Structure 1
Amino acid sequence: MDDTLKTTINDDDLVKHIVLIKKWIDQYDQFLSQYTGTGDGKHIMLNNAGLTTNSFHYETGRGGYFSTNSGTSEGQTLTLRGALLAYKATGKQIWLDRALKLSDALLNVLYQDKPIPDEPDVNWVPHWLFNAKQDFKSQQYFTNMSVVFTNGKATIKKDDIFKVFSVRAADATLVCDSPFSQVNGKSYSIKSLDYPDNNTAIVTLDENVTGNFLVVYGTNTGDVIHTNDNYDAYPVWRKLEQKETVCAIDSLAWSYDCFKLLFEVTGEEKWNKALKSTAASIRHAFHIDNAIVYIAPPRIGYDIFENGMYKYSSRDVPEIYFQNKVTGFIDIHYPQAKYGEGQIGKGSVNASFGKDDYLLVKMSSKQKLIMKVALDEENVLSRR
């Protein structure tokens, strides 16, 4: 057998891997240290405020959906999570210092300086997009510019034009005030767009038509979005409205991990409060409100018995229901009673189960008792 094909693991292989991983962590520390600050304003990873950039290189984000200067909540929380895990693995103070700076920026910018709630608040969530590198102008859009097309072609001259969104007949209207709006009336498909310079757009339509048509276009001529400012990318790069937050739901899971690690590392109660609010936000954001057979933890602050949930009691001393603010689950207290039973469940009329389907039931009690779970297969479940 060829020795190169052997897969035997030597006794010290794992030790070598640990050494290698530590080397990688040190190299990443050196990289972040070198590219933290303002630098050349383009090739940075962390700015002076502790915000993470979306990309090291000066390139447009998501095909130009947001500015090259941007950072995102996903990037911020994942970088923070990595710094905390690196600190736990190495014990090096520089990783904890970096994590605390990242967490300060997370609260100050993404959470918009809103205090960590003492009680879980589902509205305490991070904004998803911010300027991490250099000041840039926000965008504007215009919906009713009359343009003369000749044989399906027109040249538009506007300062700092970045996009032509649509072309429609002179008597057609937009369904709503948006550059992406559908059209009431005749619209013309755009075959190609060419931008020979920052102030020119050449539009070619699919149809070889001549006449005055209405054009929807956008320009980079709005108010300045400063470094460390939040902004949004839809429908164009724009400043936030007062009290506006646009949350990327997937970032809540990373925020949860970050607050959990911060509480473990620092022991500060504020991170435990942040953890509880984030847990409530996740339950609220991912709440199933159109399910047939699911019984999900109810949303904190809402009616426990929503979405088809029911309770029934024939006990002489009825049970008491309340929601656990830590877990989100329904807690039931059964006072001592002489007779009767209590029921909780969710009804379903059209549920159908295959041979591989199942119901997972989780129950617990602080006292010893006998539990009986009954499935009425004849009247409740229909088989395939």
Structure 2
Amino acid sequence: MNQGIPGQHTKDRRSGIERRKSQGDGQVSQLGLSWEDQRTQYWTRLLFCGLALLYFNFGGPEQVREWTSLPVVNLVFIAFGIEILFFMGHASRVSYAPWRRRLTMWVDIAAASFAVLADTTISSPGFLVFLMIILGNGMRYGLRLFAEAVVGSLGAAMLIVSLRLYDYINLFSVSAIFFLLFFTIIVLYSYSLTAKIETGRAKLAHERNIDALTGLLNRRALIERSSSLFQAQEHGNGVVVLFADLDGFKTVNDTHGHHVGDRVLAAVAACIARTVRSDDLVARYGGDEFLLLLPYATKEGGELVARRVRQAIDDYAKENGIDFSISIGLGKYPDHGLDLESVITSVDKAMYRSKLEHGGGAILHVDSGEMEASGQT
């Protein structure tokens, strides 16, 4: 008998697991900030918006350049405040939205640019807002948005200087040179710190969210991701849920040893990883149990995935001379439950019903509370 996993399958298994690891890391990075953290950022935006209104109104019309007027400035920043409140409300309902954090950053840059251009003071305090935008987004969302904030702020600053070139030439002095030098040093140092923070954050997130043996998401990470996934699909196509359990795995451990059992679990994870799409979530739910969440999928599509997984496991078992199979229960959110726990309860019953009725290796789905066999090996 072939002990465990033959050499010719090692490369494929490793590539499959590494692919799920990279996807898991990507899902970690996509989590973004919690609503509480984002709320703090939005309140900070509102604070700066209020300070801008106070700054221009206490200064009076003399604080505003001739190309605009105080009523226009007030209108712009009131609109800015309304925009902040709108996106704050959206963030309270949908925590993760990459387009929102990118759009709000560019609106921040536009608002800061308007404040500097409207200010009669050459060394406008609005320039410091650019630094806040760079640090605020970079420290929170990583190097990509940090670089985007730097490019956007630098481009806006160059546009401002070009539009008021004569004023800035007259202002050019030793103090201005050192201001630019300090600004550059702060940005570069912050970028270095952000890079280290992001590296450490990614490492901790990987250790916290990824099952070390299989390279799949662990149970806790899947539960966290399921909330936003279910929320996004509440009025969409729903989410197909597959609950898989290995048949005869205890015998594998007892007969061949736990080291072979561990290799089997890793191989099963690789088989599943090669079967699903990049948008699907796959986790080792516990022991020899695996959970798959398939967004945008129909029940028929989920059944097709289940059959492919079963076939891949059967092929592996036969090739390696190891006697085990996989039973799969299939359900759908929100048809069979309004949260992950309730859907899992229904799907778990379907899976164990398949074991009782078919002796393992079957696929059963929940349909209006009834279990229906989809096939068996």
Check whether TM > 0.5.
no
The structure in which a higher percent of residues are helix is 2
TM-score (norm 2): 0.24
The structure in which a higher percent of residues are strand is 1
TM-score (norm 1): 0.24
